[in-house]
Amino acid sequence: MAITTPAGTSRRNFIRLTGTLGVAAGLAASVAACGKKGGKAANKDGVITAGISYELGTNGYDPATTSSALTIAANWHTMEGLTDIHPATREVYAALAAEMPKKVDDTTYEVTLRKDAKFSNGSAVTAEDVVYSFERILVKDLPPYSNFLPFIDKVEAKDASTVTFKLKHAFVLLPERLSVVKIVPKAVVEADPKKFTYNPVGSGPYKMTDNGAAKQVIVFERNDHYNGPYPALVKTMKWNIMPDDTTRTNAMTSGSVQAIDAVPAANLPTFKEPIKVSALQGFSLLFAMFNNTSFSNVKARQAVLYALDYDKICKDAMAGLATPATCFVQEGHPAYRKAKTVYSKDLDKAKALLAEAGITSIRMLCSDHGWFSGVRPVIRENLEALGVTVSYDEKKSSDLYNFIESKDGANAWDVVIAPGDPSVFGEDGDLLMRWWYDTPTWIENRMHWKGSEGQKAIYALLEEGAKLEGDQQIAKWQETFDKISEEVPLYPIFHRKSPIAYNSSTLKDFQPIKLTALSFLGTGSTKS
């Protein structure tokens, strides 16, 4: 097996991963081989096949409402924002915009559309489409996207190809944040909103020809109308939806797919050349979320976090593919600073805090994602060591959230253990925090935390930070991280590496990512 360390992976993380897998020799040769060109040339009319671990949800692909890993990844290939953040390099670039937003003054920006840009149905992209795409999110206040854009006052068409953004206050992250809104054709959406949701039309390099609902295979074809910076390098992509770890791994080793995401740690040693494995450290995390109806006392929430054996969870259960959280963001993030409160196993302290809070039982609910299956029994064992009654249940992710948001389930749990990764939308501290601590879905419908003193304090800090820039903004984010580490309505247990396996012989210029799912922007294939 060859292990690749693409740009952004530190040598320390690389050595930790290779040590975990027991690779004792030939590391330098493996790394060098990953960067070599050559072999069979890419086929411009070829095909890319992939195995995706995340299941297809029921909410469709509408970029104004979807937030699932699978549909977000699909939209990377079929949709464009005025700007986009490259899934692999994480660089902001002009996508539908001809160039980066032009600053007129502190609260006014203009964006000109790329010349001759068209949607996959052949219709021209206009400023009216851009205004419509933003307004249907902002006017209807559609979370989470509206929560990412609180600084926007108005979006207006200056002319057929120019859009003006009026801001409520100066916001230096505008280029990054515009990327969360994908531009859609107004006429198509308004003609049949439901049809658009499941059969989207965008201006990206690919168009979706099968949404996967019937056969669990999403099919994309080259969008011949695309004239942007990342043209499709193959004619067809086929994404097989494979939530089962064994099925996905077997598909990779048999050659029926060319790449898979979420490789289970136990399966990493099974891959042989030309299959390579990448495991990049990102923000992606496993979190503990608390029901603030039953766990309104912060001491109870802190007690759970002090009860966890982070070394056993990260080194053993995650095979070294996770790092204990020492801050809301991962070490290496531009805004990282060790938080005021860092949790490590302290059973005596955990017991004392739980007793002070008057908690005698814990109702634990977990999602059933395969990649952290080894973690769940460790956490359960840790909580049982507190000497309280622990009830345990496990559900599919969609079922879990439907349950806790239901009338019957709202007060039937105390702590949820589940994964999350809002860095698919962007990596700045403000966005990452707003996903969980400013979105009604989370603070109202799930955590029941809205209106608490902690929630109001954290929101105030977020608003202060949004109006700053540079070092002052980062310092305010770090202050907010500290407050979150004390309040812990939802808090990371660890940040993880995202193992991806790919065929380096048949995929050309493939770039592994540190996010959930896969990206094939700029990737070719020799497969036909």
**pLDDT tens profile 466-510:** 999 999 999 999 999 999 999 999 999 999 999 999 999 999 999
Q: How confident is the model at residue 4 (pLDDT cuts 50, 70, 90)?
A: very low
Beta strands in 451-528 (DSSP E): 490-503, 507-508, 524-525
Peptide bond into 205 cis (omega under 30): no
Residue type, 495: H
How many Cβ atoms from other residues are within 10 Å of residue 250's Cβ?
Answer: 16
- In the prediction, which pLDDT does 203 show? 98
Encode pLDDT of 129-155 as tens digits. 999 999 999 999 999 999 999 999 999
Q: What are the backbone dihedrals phi and psi of residue 449, each rounded to the nearest 5 degrees, phi first?
A: -110, -15
Handedness of CA 135, 139, 140, 143 (dihedral sign): positive
Average pLDDT of the residues in 306-329? 97
pLDDT value at residue 270: 87
Closest CA to 493 of 405, 383, 387: 383
Please say whether the beta carbons of 114 and 238 come within 8 A. Answer: no
Number of neighbours of residue 439 by Cβ within 10 angstroms: 20
pTM: 0.91
Predicted pLDDT of residue 54: 87
Give whole-number Cα distances, 259 to 283, 368, 501, in Å.
22, 23, 6
Give the three-class secondary structure for 205: coil
pLDDT over 90, % of the chain: 87
**Region of poorest pLDDT, from 37-46, 117-126, 390-399, 420-429:** 37-46
Before 274, cis peptide (omega within 30)? yes
Residue 87 has a pLDDT of 96
Classify the phi-psi angles of 252: left when phi > 0, otherwise alpha if psi is within -120 to 50, otherwise beta: alpha
Residue 350 has what pLDDT? 98
Q: Name the residue among 277, 240, 232, 270 with its Cα closest to residue 257.
A: 240
Residue with tokens 């097989």: 240
The predicted structure's pLDDT at residue 131: 98
How far, in Å, CA of 235 to CA of 223, rounded?
A: 9
> Residue 315 has what pLDDT?
96
Minimal CA–CA distance to 445: which of 276, 219, 325, 291? 291
- Residue 141, C-beta contacts closer than 8 angstroms, at least 6 positions apart: none
Q: Tell me the pLDDT tens digit for each residue of 256-295.
A: 999 999 998 888 888 999 999 999 999 999 999 999 999 9
Closest CA to 462 of 444, 478, 449: 478
Other residues' Cβ atoms within 10 Å of the Cβ of residue 215: 11
pLDDT score for 251: 97
| Angle, CA 181 vertex, CA 175 and CA 187 arms, to 5° | 130
Residue 332 has pLDDT above 70, yes or no: yes
- 30 band by pLDDT with thresholds 50, 70 and 90: very low
Kindly state the greatest CA–CA separation across the chain: 68
Q: Strand pairing partners for 497?
A: 281
Strands (E), 58-133: 83-85, 92-94, 102-105, 108-112
Mean pLDDT of the residues in the chain: 92
Strands (E), 268-383: 275-290, 322-324, 361-367
Mean pLDDT along residues 165-187: 98
Q: Is the pLDDT of residue 7 over 50?
A: no
Q: pLDDT value at position 269?
A: 85
Choose among 196, 396, 411: nearest CA to 292: 411
pLDDT for position 38: 58
- Asked if 60 contacts 76 with a C-beta cutoff of 8 angstroms, the reply is no
Q: Looking at the predicted structure, is the pLDDT value of residue 446 above 70?
A: yes
Partners of 166 in beta bridges:
108, 154
Flag whether pLDDT at 416 surpasses 50: yes
Distance from the first to the final alpha carbon of the chain: 25
What is the pLDDT averaged over residues 354-363? Answer: 98
β-pairing verdict for 206-211 and 217-222: antiparallel
